[in-house]
Amino acid sequence: MAKGVILVGHGSRDPLWRAPIEAVAARLAASQPKVATRCAYLELQQPDVPAAAADLAQLGVREVTLVPMFLGTGKHARADLPRLLDQVRAEHPEVAFTLQPSVGEDPRLLDLLARIAAE
């Protein structure tokens, strides 16, 4: 696989918290079988971003997009993820890593949330 995606979540002590992100990963993997898909967490759960990046690099993936699964753009999205992006780029110079904006900044998601709220 030449391309990969890391869905990045916050993490929680509650193992059920990760179910929605893993559901997105499963849907992505089913709809895009040629894209290596991983989940990673910033706190309290594994794998973390460096471990997920290392896994994809070891598979031979050469383009990886990190997708912050956050509704808002808080400290994790503004500071922690760019720092982690620099780290994985240094650890895996053969891989092109890019960081998308948080999913909550996408107008399509905001429209969907508004429709759900109106039901």
Give the residue among 35, 44, 57 at the shortest CA–CA distance from 11.
Answer: 44
Distances (CA, A) of 62 to 18, 23, 28, 42, 54: 26, 24, 18, 23, 11
The catalytically annotated residue of 9, 10, 42, 53 is: 10
> For residue 8, how many other CB atoms are within 10 A of its CB?
29
Q: Residue with structure tokens 């499963």?
A: 26
Q: Residue with structure tokens 């890391």?
A: 6
Establish whether 92 is a catalytic residue. no
Residues taking part in catalysis: 10
